[in-house]
Structure 1
Amino acid sequence: MNRVINVGYGEHTPERTPFLNATASAKLRTEIDEQLDQQVVEWYANVSEAAHLEGKNVDSEYYKRNLIETAWRIRMLRVAEAKALVEIAKVSPEAAQVWANYEQEEMLHDELFIADLEKVGVSREQFLATEPYLSTKLLSGYFSYLLDHEGPLGVVAYSYLVEYVNVKLEPRKLEALKGSVGESNIGGQINHSHTDVNEDHPGEVWEAVRHLLRSEDDIAAFKRYLREHQTILGQYFEELHRDTIAKAEKQSA
C-alpha cells in the first residue's frame, strides 16, 4: 500500500474534478458577489468614516496611517498566504498553481504603498518604526488559526473579498484622492489597482476557490469566512478612526 498522502490525489482527495461545474460555479459566484455587495452597504452604514478617503477633505494622519497599515498588512499576511500554498497543494494542485501565480503578482505590493508614503513625508524608517495596530495582528493571527485548524479555504476567501471590493470601489476612491492628495502622490496605489483590474484578480482567486470547494459545507463555510473577515477589517477601520480623526477632534474640543 502506498503511504503517500496530501499530494492532491487518493482517498483524502478522491475527486480532482471540481465539485462545481462551470455553470454552477458561475451561479455561485454571482450569489457570493451579491453577498459582498450587501456587505459593502453594511460597511458604509456601520463603520465610522467608512467613506472618508472618498471625500474632499481627507485627514492627513488618517491617510498616512492607512497607507502604513496597508503595507504592514501585506507584509504580515503574505507569510500566512505563502504557508497556505503548502496546504492548498495537498488538496488541489490546480488551485495551488493559480494561488502561486496570484501571490507572485501580489507579493511585493507593500512597496507601492511605501513609495506613496514617502511622497507625503513618511520615510521608510518611520514606517518601519510604526508598530501595526492590534486589529492587523489579529487578522494575521486569524489566518494562522485557519491554516492550523480549518484549512486554507478561509485564507483564500479573504483575497476574494478584498479583490472583489477593490476592483469595485478602488477606482472611485482613487479618483477622489487625485483631488484631495494629488495624482502625483498616489502612483503606487494606482499601480496596485491597475494590477487588480488588468490581471483580473477576482477571477483568478475565484478559480482557486472553485478547486477548493468540495461540498455544500465548504460553500457555507466560504460565505461565513467572508463575513468574519469583514468584521475584523471593520475593527481595523474603527481603530484607525479612533487613533486619528477622533483623537484630533477630542484634542481640539
Structure 2
Amino acid sequence: MNNRVKHVGYGDRTPYLGAAGAQTLRERIDGQIDRQIKQWYATVPEAAHLEGKKVDSHYYQRHLIETAWRIRLLRVSEAKALAEIAKVSPEAAQIWAHYEQEEMLHDELFIQDLQRAGVSRERFLATEPYLSTKLLSGFFSYLLDHEGPLGVVAYSYLVEYVNVKLEPRKLDALKGSVGAGNIAGQVSHSHTDVNDDHPGEVWAALRFLIKNDDDIVSLERYLAEHQRILAMYFTELYQDTLAEKHGQAA
C-alpha cells in the first residue's frame, strides 16, 4: 500500500542547481534587477526624489506611511507562505522563518520615524493604503493559491537586493534633507538588511525552491511583475503628493 501523505517536503531534497550553477543564476538575476533599476529611474515620476537635497515633506511622510502598511499587509501573506514553502522544502522553510522573524516587526521602525516627522500613530492608522499596495497583497494571495510560494520569495529577493544597493545612498541624502536623528528607524532597518545579508538569505531559500528550468523562467517573470506593481505605487505616490505642484495632476 502506498503512503497517501504528500506535500511535506520529503523525497530528493538536493537543490536543482549546484553551487556553481546557483551562483551563475544569481549573477544573471542580479543583472536583470540592475536593468530594472535603470528603467525605474528613467520611467517612474520622481524616482530619485528621496535622494535629492530638497525632499517634499508630504511625499516623505506618505511614503513612510505606505511602507509601514506594506509591511503589515504583506507579512500576513508571507506568514502563510511559510506553510506552502514547507510543503516544497523544509530547508527553504527554515531559512524563510528566520528571515521573517527578523523582518516581521519592522513596520514599527517606520512608524517611529513617522512620529519624528510629526505624524501620529492615530493619523497613520486612519490613512488607508494605496490601491497599488492592496493589489500587491492580493497578488501574493493569488500566487500562494494558484502558482506556489516561489513568486512571494522572489519579491523579497528583489526588494532586499535593491535596498542593500540603493538604501545607503538614499539614507545619506535623507540625513541632509530630513536630519540624521529623524531617520533612526530607517537606518536600523537598513542595518539589518546589510549586516544580516538578507539578499543572501533570501537567495538561499530561492535555491531550494527552484526545481527545474521552468521555475527559473517563472522567477525572472515574477521579478518583472513585482517591479511593475511597485512602479504603480510610486506613480500613485507622485500623483497624490507632487503632481499638482508640478502642474501634472491627473
For the aligned pair, the TM-score class normalised by the smaller chain equals: over 0.9
- How big is each residue's C-alpha offset from its partner over 1:5-62, in whole Å with a ceiling of 9 and x where there is no partner? 11101xxxx4200000001001100110011100000000000000000000101000
C-alpha separation in 2, matches of 1:8 and 1:182: 48
Secondary structure in structure 2 of the residue aligned to 1:69: helix
What is the Cα-based RMSD across aligned positions, in Å? 1.1
Task: Name stretches of at least 5 consecutive residues in structure 2 with no aligned partner.
Answer: none
In the alignment, residue 111 of structure 2 is paired with which amino acid? I
Map of 2:28 onto structure 1 = 31
C-alpha separation in 1, matches of 2:158 and 2:65: 21
C-alpha separation in 2, matches of 1:223 and 1:121: 40
Map of 2:154 onto structure 1 = 157
Alignment of 1:126-205 (within 5 A): 126-205=123-202
C-alpha separation in 2, matches of 1:47 and 1:19: 36
C-alpha separation in 2, matches of 1:47 and 1:233: 10
In the alignment, residue 231 of structure 1 is paired with which amino acid? R
Please say if 1:102 is aligned against 2:103.
no
Task: Name stretches of at least 5 consecutive residues in structure 1 with no aligned partner.
Answer: none
Cα displacement (A) at 1:152: 0.1
List 4+ stretches of structure 1 deviating above 3 A. 248-252
C-alpha separation in 1, matches of 2:244 and 2:111: 24
Map of 1:4 onto structure 2 = 5
Map of 1:246 onto structure 2 = 243
Alignment of 1:198-217 (within 5 A): 198-217=195-214
C-alpha separation in 2, matches of 1:242 and 1:221: 32
Q: How many residues align?
A: 248
Residues 129/25 of structure 1: CA separation in 2 closer, same or farther (3 Å cut): same
Find 2:49's aligned residue among 31, 52, 65.
52
Overall identity of the aligned pairs, in %: 73
C-alpha separation in 2, matches of 1:150 and 1:15: 21
Cα displacement (A) at 1:248: 3.3
In the alignment, residue 8 of structure 1 is paired with which amino acid? G
C-alpha separation in 1, matches of 2:74 and 2:244: 28
- How big is each residue's C-alpha offset from its partner over 1:92-130, in whole Å with a ceiling of 9 and x where there is no partner? 000000000000000000000000000010000000000
C-alpha separation in 1, matches of 2:192 and 2:76: 21
TM-score with structure 2 setting the length: 0.98
TM-score with structure 1 setting the length: 0.96
C-alpha separation in 2, matches of 1:4 and 1:133: 42
Secondary structure in structure 2 of the residue aligned to 1:49: coil
